[in-house]
């Protein structure tokens, strides 16, 4: 810490100044909470000053300091504030606890292997059935990188249609091309709107991927602005992938605007690929100036058809005998009819292997057949409401009947507890069951409401609370009649 | 458990069953407590007192930490949690206790698993307020035993039945204990239990006066039977109107002084119940009108409601025009705007009588607009009626307008809508005073209000 006293403070990069000023003396070694609050206060006003600093030289100075400092204290355990400082400057990489020993891969059965192959996180090297989209994105990015200019692309499609997998696949191919010196080098950054607590944290993430340092969003924003607006020799192209674009759209849309405005600057050489679910997001949500910057280079991923799903699952299982052909076809047809989501198809297949694993006695001929797939489909697609109604208590069933009867009597979907209770009295008298007191009926109502079989208000409105039926009346009749027989 | 019962039962007569139930549930800290207990009953049935005494006995006799709080005082969750932690902490003053949210609270409780305290009891009074706090407070409190892993029981006290607590996401199970109101015999027994104190107090009073004869009479007359007779008379008047024990206790003590006076004077024999009844009946009825109004005033002078209104109206020192404004506001609230032309315009022409309107006029009392409650009016209409009922012509000065806002401040008028745009005329006012009050004010300024009310035409 003495070292820092002698160095010219001015030229040190600001985030480091802040940290050194806070942590320079021994008296500051206090509770982490206090230190953190101080840090937050100090960081707040840093961006105002930062415009006067030159960005290149100080970084070297600061690294020299931190290197020597860390060398001198290598043995000593870190105080929490020192740790925090290192984390914020990216010197400590986050790691996870390790298992004592890895699971042995040799003694896995065929079903287990198939299950691993079918896992959603195992992305294949080349996505089947997305060749056209791959070519489209590849030619766009390759052109932009070779032309050394910036640009935007908007990719849309319903969830599970391989958008992110295709784009990252393209990037991987391009990086391989760079390694073989067939393409000029480029930097790849990636942010996901869902992983940010706030749209402005996007700046922090982008800056972190560029330098490894964590700074406040204001600071990151000014630094990025400077990077992308001032021309610099030997600037390489940067490809920025923005996943879940619709989350980044707040009311002011300043973050989206900046992300799409930087590519238009000549100095930036930024290519932004944005991914979202809705096809008409630019027209529906974004402001005119943002839509116009997003441009017209768009690509829509259609949902998979059942043949494509069959191909995808087939490609995953390549060579394995774990699945019967018609089993895969059944999954593909059922999923394609609902959403065309590849993840769903893979999940159902995986569930089917689990069912086959537990059901079949002999381990020799374990194979997923139609019955297993049907059971998995019933578990994952079929509604549980009829089962829930069947397993309700007697009074709860009568209460549901009373709600349905009140809906048919009044013709309005929304009923009040009073009307339902009158119906309950009638039904109970008809069945010869003892009538529950209104308080008891309220607890029945609350229980059904918690199970979401009906939608009810807080029971403080007792007789006047409004009740909606959350299941169809046919479901109730079906569940209760079948049981009666 | 038996010790706790034995300690409490003399303190709370007629509550043996409730105390036994509580003792069975949470009497022994070596056994597992139920997760939550809900005690409900009317006000004045002894919920808070019994719970408080019970918890203190538990704390005294067993190794139990207790916390008692009132949910009204805890207007944020943090206050609630920190109050509970402060009271429950097994080692006092070890560290500063902090709990910003429910998670930290539960973590703190989990840390006490290894302490030697056998049980924790939390009693929360006015538990109906818990429904208005953060949505997770009530569900977590009901499952606190399960979440914290210690032998803890949460006791909720309220006047509502538990049916009023179910939220949209469901609650876990709770034991309910009902404290029913005391019946007449029980009330008499509880009221009679302070006989000895009353006797002591009266004797001390007589000793101060140094009248040997009165002291003798007092000693002779003041028996338990005499006191019970009095309570019987007292309850025959009061029990219909009020079963709130503290209220009855207060009034019974006040009226007993009047009851015992003629006996001490020697004018009535202490055994002559019928004469004593004739003597006390008047003051008792007078006291009945003052129940729930804690006015420290000597009894005996009968006070009728009408007189108090008159006094209030006469003592209200409004300026002359202010009184007229109030009358105008009352007329505007209780006459329909359709009648204004006929009532207040001098030459409105002849009104033709129709059978329909005659029938409509034949109103019952329920339909009278003075009993249906006030309707709203605009400030323009108020001023128009004011000028119509005032004989002299005064200028519309700022003093006059400021009197309207003063009447609003005094809560004699109130805004029903458009509070923010008074000046553009869309604000609507209502008159909040009753007919009696306005009639008195009219009498003060010499104005007949009934003459201008549609109901009385």
What would the pLDDT profile of B349-366 be if each residue is shown by its tens digit? 666 666 666 666 665 655
Single out the residue of B47, B22, B13 nearest to residue B183, CA to CA. B13
Confidence at residue A362, expressed as pLDDT on a 0 to 100 scale: 61
Single out the residue of A327, A364, A326, A468 nearest to residue A406, CA to CA. A468
A442, A452, A467, best to mutate vs chain B, most B CBs in 10 Å: A442
Q: Is A446 on the interface with B (CB under 8 A)?
A: yes
pLDDT digits (tens, 9 = 90+) for A233-251: 888 999 999 999 999 998 9
Does B456 have pLDDT greater than 80? no
Chain B residue at shortest CA distance from A458: B167
Computed over every residue of chain B, the mean pLDDT equals 87
Does A34 have pLDDT greater than 60? no
Cα–Cα dist A371/A375, whole Å? 6
Least confident range of A180-194, A470-484, B178-192: A470-484
pLDDT digits (tens, 9 = 90+) for B208-239: 877 778 888 888 888 888 999 999 999 999 99
A31, A450, A460, best to mutate vs chain B, most B CBs in 10 Å: A460
Residues A293 and A151: beta-carbon distance below 8 Å: no
- B-chain residues near A442 (CB < 8 A): 163, 166
Chain-centroid distance of CA B37 in Å reads 26
Judged by CB atoms closer than 8 Å, whether chains meet at A443 and B166 is answered as yes
Query: What integer is the mean pLDDT of A430-447?
Result: 94
Contacts of range B244-250, beta carbons closer than 8 Å, 24 or more positions apart: B244/B42, B244/B43, B244/B44, B245/B44, B245/B45, B245/B46, B245/B182, B245/B187, B245/B190, B245/B191, B246/B44, B247/B44, B247/B291, B247/B292, B248/B187, B248/B191, B249/B191, B249/B194, B250/B294
- A-chain residues near B170 (CB < 8 A): 446-447, 449-451
Query: What integer is the mean pLDDT of A256-273?
Result: 94
Q: Is A190 on the interface with B (CB under 8 A)?
A: no
HSE, side-chain direction, 13 A CA sphere, residue A211? 19
Q: Is A116 on the interface with B (CB under 8 A)?
A: no
pLDDT digits (tens, 9 = 90+) for A341-396: 899 899 999 999 888 888 876 655 678 888 888 888 888 876 788 889 999 999 99
Query: What integer is the mean pLDDT of A42-64?
Result: 44
- B-chain residues near A33 (CB < 8 A): none
Q: Is A457 on the interface with B (CB under 8 A)?
A: yes
Confidence at residue A202, expressed as pLDDT on a 0 to 100 scale: 96
A459, A461, A466, best to mutate vs chain B, most B CBs in 10 Å: A459
- A-chain residues near B164 (CB < 8 A): 459-460, 462
Confidence at residue B297, expressed as pLDDT on a 0 to 100 scale: 59
Q: Which residue has the higher pLDDT, A15 or A294?
A: A294
Does A8 have pLDDT greater than 80? no
Q: Is A80 on the interface with B (CB under 8 A)?
A: no
Q: Which residue has the higher pLDDT, B417 or B210?
A: B417
Confidence at residue B50, expressed as pLDDT on a 0 to 100 scale: 95
With b for 16 or more beta-carbon neighbours within 10 A and e for fewer, the B281-303 pattern comes to: eebbebbeeeeeeeeeeebeeee
- A-chain residues near B165 (CB < 8 A): 459-460
Chain A residue at shortest CA distance from B167: A458
Confidence at residue B279, expressed as pLDDT on a 0 to 100 scale: 87
Q: Which of B163, B167, B170 lies closest to A462 in CB terms?
A: B163
| Confidence band, pLDDT 50/70/90 cuts, at residue A63 | very low
Determine the distance in angstroms separating the CA of A456 from the nearest CA of chain B, rounded to an integer.
Answer: 7
Taking the model in full, what pTM does it have?
0.79
B161, B166, B170, B172, best to mutate vs chain A, most A CBs in 10 Å: B166
Query: What integer is the mean pLDDT of A188-195?
Result: 95
Does A444 have pLDDT greater than 70? yes
Cα–Cα dist A318/A387, whole Å? 38
Chain B residue at shortest CA distance from A442: B163
Helix, strand, or coil (residue B154): strand
Residue that the structure tokens 């052909």 belong to: A325
| Confidence band, pLDDT 50/70/90 cuts, at residue A12 | very low
Pairing status of strand B119-125 against strand B64-70: parallel
Bridge partners of residue B121, in order along the sequence: B66, B153
Single out the residue of B444, B331, B323, B439 nearest to residue B385, CA to CA. B331
Write out the residues of chain B at the interface with chain A, using a CB-CB cutoff of 8 A: 131, 161-171
Computed over every residue of chain A, the mean pLDDT equals 83
């Amino acid at each position: 810490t003495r070292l820092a006293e002698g160095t010219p403070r001015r030229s040190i990069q600001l985030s480091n100044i802040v940290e050194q000023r806070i942590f320079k003396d021994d008296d500051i070694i206090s509770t982490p909470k206090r230190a953190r609050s101080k840090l937050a206060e100090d960081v707040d006003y840093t961006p105002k000053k930062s415009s006067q600093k030159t960005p290149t030289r100080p970084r070297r100075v600061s690294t020299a300091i931190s290197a020597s400092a860390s060398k001198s204290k290598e043995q000593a355990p870190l105080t929490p504030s020192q740790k925090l400082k290192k984390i914020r400057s990216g010197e400590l990489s986050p790691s996870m606890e390790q298992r004592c020993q890895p699971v042995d891969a040799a003694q896995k059965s065929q079903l287990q292997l198939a299950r691993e192959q079918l896992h959603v996180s195992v992305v294949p090297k080349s996505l089947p059935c997305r060749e056209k989209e791959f070519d489209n994105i590849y030619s766009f990015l390759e052109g932009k990188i070779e032309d050394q200019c910036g640009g935007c692309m908007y990719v849309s499609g319903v969830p599970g249609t391989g958008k992110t997998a295709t784009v990252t696949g393209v990037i991987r191919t391009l990086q391989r091309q760079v390694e073989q010196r067939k393409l000029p080098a480029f930097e790849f950054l990636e942010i996901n709107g869902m992983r940010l607590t706030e749209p402005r944290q996007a700046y922090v993430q982008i800056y972190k991927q560029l330098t490894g340092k964590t700074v406040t969003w204001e600071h990151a924003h000014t630094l990025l602005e400077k990077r992308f607006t001032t021309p610099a020799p030997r600037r390489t192209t940067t490809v920025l992938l923005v996943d879940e674009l619709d989350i980044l759209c707040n009311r002011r849309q300043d973050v989206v605007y900046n992300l799409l405005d930087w590519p238009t600057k000549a100095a930036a050489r930024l290519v932004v690929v944005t991914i979202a679910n809705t096809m008409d997001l630019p027209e529906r949500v974004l402001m005119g100036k943002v839509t116009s910057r997003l441009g017209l280079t768009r690509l829509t991923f259609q949902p998979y058809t059942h043949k494509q799903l069959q191909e995808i699952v087939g490609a995953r299982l390549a060579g394995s005998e774990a699945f019967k052909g018609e089993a895969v076809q059944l999954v593909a047809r059922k999923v394609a009819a609902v959403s065309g989501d590849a993840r769903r198809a893979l999940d159902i297949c995986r569930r089917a292997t689990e069912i086959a694993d537990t059901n079949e006695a002999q381990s020799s001929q374990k194979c997923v057949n139609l019955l297993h797939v049907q059971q998995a489909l019933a578990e994952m697609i079929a509604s549980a409401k009829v089962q829930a109604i069947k397993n309700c208590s007697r009074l709860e069933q009568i209460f549901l009947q009373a709600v349905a009867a009140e809906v048919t009597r009044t013709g309005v979907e929304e009923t009040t507890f009073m009307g339902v209770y009158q119906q309950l009295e009638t039904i109970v008298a008809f069945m010869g069951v003892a009538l529950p007191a209104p308080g008891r009926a309220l607890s029945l109502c609350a229980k059904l409401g918690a199970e979401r079989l009906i939608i009810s208000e807080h029971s403080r409105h007792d007789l006047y609370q409004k009740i909606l039926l959350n299941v169809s009346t046919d479901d109730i009749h079906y569940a209760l009649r079948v049981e009666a027989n | 458990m038996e010790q706790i019962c034995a300690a409490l039962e003399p303190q709370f007569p007629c509550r043996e069953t409730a105390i036994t139930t509580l003792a069975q549930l949470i009497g022994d800290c070596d056994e597992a407590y139920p997760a939550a207990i809900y005690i409900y009953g009317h006000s004045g049935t002894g919920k808070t007192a019994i719970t408080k005494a019970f918890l203190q006995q538990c704390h005294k006799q067993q190794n139990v930490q207790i916390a008692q709080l009132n949910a009204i005082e805890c207007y944020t969750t943090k206050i609630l949690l920190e109050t509970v932690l402060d009271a429950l902490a097994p080692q006092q003053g070890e560290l500063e206790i902090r709990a910003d949210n429910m998670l930290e609270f539960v973590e703190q409780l989990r840390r006490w698993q290894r302490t030697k305290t056998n049980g924790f009891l939390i009693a929360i009074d006015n538990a109906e307020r818990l429904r208005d706090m953060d949505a997770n407070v009530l569900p977590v409190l009901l499952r606190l035993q399960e979440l914290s892993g210690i032998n803890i029981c949460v006791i909720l006290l309220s006047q509502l039945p538990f049916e009023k607590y179910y939220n949209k996401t469901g609650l876990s199970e709770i034991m309910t204990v009902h404290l029913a109101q005391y019946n007449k015999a029980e009330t008499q027994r509880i009221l009679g239990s302070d006989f000895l104190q009353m006797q002591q107090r009266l004797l001390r009073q007589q000793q101060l006066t140094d009248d040997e004869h009165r002291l003798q009479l007092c000693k002779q007359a003041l028996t338990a039977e005499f006191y019970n007779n009095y309570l019987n008379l007292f309850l025959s008047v009061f029990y219909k109107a009020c079963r709130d024990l503290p209220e009855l206790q207060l009034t019974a003590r006040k009226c007993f002084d009047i009851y015992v006076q003629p006996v001490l004077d020697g004018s009535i024999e202490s055994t002559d119940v019928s004469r004593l009844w004739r003597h006390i009946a008047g003051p008792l009825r007078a006291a009945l009108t003052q129940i729930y109004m804690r006015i420290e005033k000597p009894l005996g002078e009968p006070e009728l409601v009408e007189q108090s209104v008159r006094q209030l109206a006469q003592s209200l020192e409004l300026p002359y025009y202010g009184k007229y404004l109030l009358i105008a506001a009352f007329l505007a609230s209780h006459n329909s705007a359709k009648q204004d032309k006929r009532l207040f315009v001098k030459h409105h022409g002849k009104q033709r009588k129709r059978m329909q309107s005659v029938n409509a006029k034949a109103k019952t009392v329920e339909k009278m607009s003075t009993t249906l409650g006030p309707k709203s009016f605009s400030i323009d209409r108020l001023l128009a009626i004011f000028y119509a009922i005032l004989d002299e012509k005064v200028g519309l000065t700022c003093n006059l307008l400021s009197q309207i806002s003063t009447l609003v401040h005094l809560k004699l008028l109130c805004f029903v809508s458009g509070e923010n745009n008074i000046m553009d005329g869309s604000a609507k006012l209502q008159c909040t005073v009753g007919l009696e009050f306005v009639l008195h004010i009219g009498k003060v300024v010499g104005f007949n209000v009934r003459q201008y009310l549609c109901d009385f035409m």
